[in-house]
Structures are given as structure tokens and as C-alpha cells.
Amino acid sequence: MSDTLMLDAIGRRVELNGEHGTVRFSGIVPPVAGLWLGVEWDNPERGKHDGSHEGTVYFKCRHPTGGSFIRPNKVNFGVDFLTAVKNRYVLEDGAEDHGKEQIITIGKKPVETIGFDSVIKQQSHLNNLQEISLRNCAVSCAGEKGGIARTCPNITRVDVSKNLLASWDEVIRIADQLKNLVVLNLSENKMQFPSGSSAVTGTFSTLKVLVLNQTGITWTEVLRCAPGWPVLEELYLGSNSIFISERPSDVLQRLKLLDLSSNPLIDENQLFLIAYLPRLEQLILSDTGISSIHFPDAEIGCKTSMFPSLQYLVVNDNRISQWSFINELDKLQSLRALSCLRNPLTEGSKEAQTTRQLIIAKIGQLKTLNKCEILPEERRGAELDYRKAFGNEWKKAGGHQDPEKNRPNEEFLAAHPRYQLLCHKYGAPEDGELKVQQPFMLKNQLLTLKIKYPNHLEQKVLEKQLPGSMTVQKVKALLSRLLKVPVSELLLSYESPKMPGREIELGNDLQSLQFYSVENGDCLLVRW
């Protein structure tokens, strides 16, 4: 690449030995002669410095080892879209078949990409292509104006993930030539998005599925671009450090699926800003760190006006540890399916089936849990067991078989919002059928636990055997005597080898260790 072209290199995406980066500097780096590129790598372990050399800062990196100086002829600046298509889907006459069909995923849909041989046999011309995959083909630009439209105008599904596209403007130049585009996967392209309001054109007038995982897009940029996606139904924004800062106004109104997975900045207050998307049916919040949710517009036993069309909610791999989270989900008027795997509430307990029954009993309209259908007989059994298991607690709280005397207190109703409804459905539990233990309690057994003091490292690590049924309050009392620290000053949490990097707060003094799924080998963390 010539020195003249190097003047335009800044901001471009490059590839070297499978690693991708962005050019942040182009010029001379004394005392070595010749032209250098300063590259900030996506993988900071690939670099050597922070963009400085011998005390001079040539460019800045987000990571102290994210930068390198590279000669221009060493890096790959990529190819245009049409060249990549021809490289992938066209063989010279007489070439042997060495391509195979493969299945790739665009969004949540498996798509069969067309291999070399099937292109020759099934589609004699590129203009018959409808589905293409150019993943990791070093696509960097649209190329000659009008070239895509002339050569392959009938494409409807495109995967250009993990390429060298550097800007949203370049994406528009490609998509503007694909008038029938329905699915577009742009994941793993670190792009610059418009900094101001973008003009609304017909470029994406047919686009229904857009995948922007790991592109660096912000929520503000999503809303800036969204007026150009008038019929969009599925939007994937995983792993972008998204922070929902404002409500979508007159955009995304046709959205049926929104994937916000692996965006750890998201919390329940941000969810309220998207709670009135009228057609949103699926919301994916896996690995966001969410631990609580509350719908303030709905009283106990009532339905919320938020998320009016939401049918399927995915909250896998989060920090949900309280049953209050499940209670709130019963307020969603359209919820029919829930996936809640690998949360403290559901993991670590040997009574996984009992946990499933509790969730079923607490969410009345649920038809599928963790991708497993809830049959009518399973629901009936779960609700009857729930009604019996908490019968004694209900009576102590003011519940009574006589409807005129049945006045359980607010605390019980908050913890068991559907209990009164179940009594109405099946009849109030009789004294003879009430169970003593709650179904999610394990048998009274000793747990061998380590006890550490993160703020007092001079304290010796202890190993204690404690009953699983022991309440947090009693654990605090024991530790208070051992440490000579007032109970009121003690804060307890625990960590488990099964969930490395996560710390679960033991926030309710009246709950047992089993309630929080504490197991043998776990470590109690004590702070004061």
C-alpha cells in the first residue's frame, strides 16, 4: 500500500495472523526510518505497549499492552464484499470439489451455507445466491459502486461476522445494494457508529433480523440508527457493555426479540426503559448479573402493565438468589416460558426437581420452564405440594380455613403472592395434611464450610460443620461469640467452587443456609 494511501489508514481495521485491530497512527517513528502503523489490537495480549515509544505518545490504547507498531506491508487491510463472495463461492473450471456445506448460526436461526460444489451444481450464477456466509473473510468495504447489486442482487441473508468493517457507513454502502435483505449478522466487527442523527433511507427497509454482538455499539447509537430499521423484529446486542440510558421513542416498535446477553452494566431500573415496547415477545438477559426485579405499578396478585407482550424470558447465568424475583414474574401478563438456569436460587441444591415445582407454583401462567413443557398434571402436583408445604406458615400468619377469618398478614402475602389463589382453587389445607418442612429444604445435615474474613486477613481461616437448616441469624450469633464482634455489625456472604468469581449475599437472617443453596466445600465470607 502506497504512502499516499497510508494517510487514510487511521481508523481502518486490519488483520495479522488471525488477530484483528484498528489503525490508530500512521507515520514516522524515530529513530527508525520508514512508515509505521500504530495498531490497537482487539486482544491486548497481542500488543507490546500503550502507543508510546521512548517517551513520545503516538496513539492511545485502552489497555497498557494493547498497541504495536507494524510495517504497512505486514498487515491485511482486507478485500471488498464482492471479491470475498467470488473467492468463497466461485471455482475455476476443472477445479476439484473441496468445499462442504456447513451450518452456521445467525441470531438464533441455523442457516445452511452453500459450499463450493453446491454453488456450481445448484446455482450457475451468483445472481441466484440468496444466503451467504463470509465470516472471517477479511471483508473491509463495499467495493465498486453498484457492483454488488449487479452481481448478486437476490441475497436475503448475510453473515459478515468477524471481518474488517470499520464503520456503519460502510455497512450501509453494502446493504444499499441488497434490496431484499432480511437477515444481517455483523458480530465481531469493531465499528464506528454515527455520532449524530443519521438520515433515514430505504437501505434497511426489509431487514427483520440484525445481529450486532461484540461490535462496540452503545444504546445511544442503537437509537440513532433505529429509525432506519422500520420493520426490524429481532435485535441481538450481546457483549457490548450496553447501558440503557433512554426509552425508545417511535423506534423499535415492531421488535419481537431483544438479546442483551453478557452486558454486565444492565440492571432492573434500565429494564423499565424498554418495558413498553408493544410487541416484544422474547427478552434474553443471560449473564448480565441481574439479581432483582420489581414492578412497582402492580400490587400483590395483580398484573403489571410493563412488558405487555413478553412471552419468553431468559435469565440464565445471573445472580438471582431470592424467591421474590420469581414472585414478581407472575405479574407479567403474557409470560409463558422461562429459562432460569445456573443461578444461586436454582444451582447447588440436590433438590432441583423441588426448585422446579416451586417456580411452577409461583408463576401461574407458565407453560415451559427451562425448555421443558409443564404438563397439567405437573402443575397440579406442584401447586398442591406448595399449598401443603407452606400451610403451617400460612396459619401462623393469620390464615384460616374459615374464609371470614382468613386474614394472613402482608409479610406472608408478599412472600407467597399466589397462596390465597391456590387455596381458592383447591380449598384451604386441612390440619391433617400439612407438612412440617418446606419442599426446598434438604434433610437436616451437616455442611463442612470454610470461614474467611476478607477485611481481616490476620484472622485464621476456620473450618466448621454447620447444619444446613441453621438460619443466617444463628450463624451470626455463633460468629459473634467466636470473634467478639456484635451481631449487628456482621455481614455474611458465600462463594462456591461451582460459581467461581461470584459472591452470594446471605441477606435474610431468617432464612437457612440451605435456602441459599450453600453446600459442602463452600466458603463463608464474614465482614464487619
pLDDT in tens, 513-526: 877 778 888 999 99
Contact 388, 435 (CB under 8 A): yes
Q: CA-CA distance, 203 to 193, in Å (whole number)?
A: 16
Query: Which residues face 236 on adjacent strands?
Result: 211, 259
Closest CA to 240 of 223, 263, 259, 222: 263
pLDDT tens profile 53-66? 888 999 999 899 99
CA-CA-CA-CA dihedral for 198, 204, 210, 211, to nearest 10: -60
What mean pLDDT is predicted for residues 490-501?
86
pLDDT in tens, 396-409: 999 999 999 999 99
Three-state DSSP state, 76? strand
- What pLDDT does 445 receive? 67
274-290: pLDDT as tens digits = 999 999 999 999 999 99
- Give the model's confidence band at 222: pLDDT under 50 very low, under 70 low, under 90 confident, else very high: very high
pTM of the model: 0.74
Would you call 106 helix, strand, or coil by DSSP? strand
- H or E, element range at 352: helix 352-362
Helix, strand, coil share of the chain (percent; to 5):
25, 20, 55
**How much is the pLDDT for 127?**
82
The strand pair at 523-527 and 446-452 is best described as parallel
Which of 236, 242, 172 lies closest to 209, judged by CA?
236
Mean pLDDT, residues 112-133:
64
Which 8-state DSSP code applies to residue 97? P
Q: Of the given ranges (114-118, 269-273, 385-389), which has the lowest mean pLDDT?
A: 114-118
pLDDT tens across 408-419, in order? 999 999 999 999
| Sequence-ordered list of residues with C-beta below 8 angstroms from that of 40, at least 6 positions apart, any chain | 21, 22, 24, 47, 51, 59, 61, 62, 66, 67
Lowest-pLDDT choice from 98-102, 143-147, 170-174, 397-401: 98-102
Weakest mean pLDDT among 344-348, 452-456, 461-465: 344-348
pLDDT at 467: 87
Averaged pLDDT, 305-325: 97
CA atoms within 13 A on the CB side of 136: 6
For range 176-200, the mean pLDDT: 90
Q: By three-state DSSP, how is residue 187 classified? A: coil
Which helix (DSSP H) or strand (DSSP E) does residue 358 occupy?
helix 352-362
pLDDT tens digits, one per residue of 341-360: 999 998 865 567 789 999 99
Q: Vertex 154, ends 150 and 159: CA angle to 5°?
A: 105
- pLDDT for the residue numbered 116: 44
Are 82 and 148 in contact by the 8 Å Cβ rule? The answer is: yes
**pLDDT at residue 513, rounded to an integer:** 87
What's the pLDDT at 498?
A: 75
CA gap 470, 466 in Å, rounded: 7
Angle at 286 between CA 525 and CA 209, to 5 degrees: 165
Q: Over 50: is that where the pLDDT of 98 sits?
A: no
Stretch among 66-75, 85-94, 467-476 having the lowest mean pLDDT: 85-94
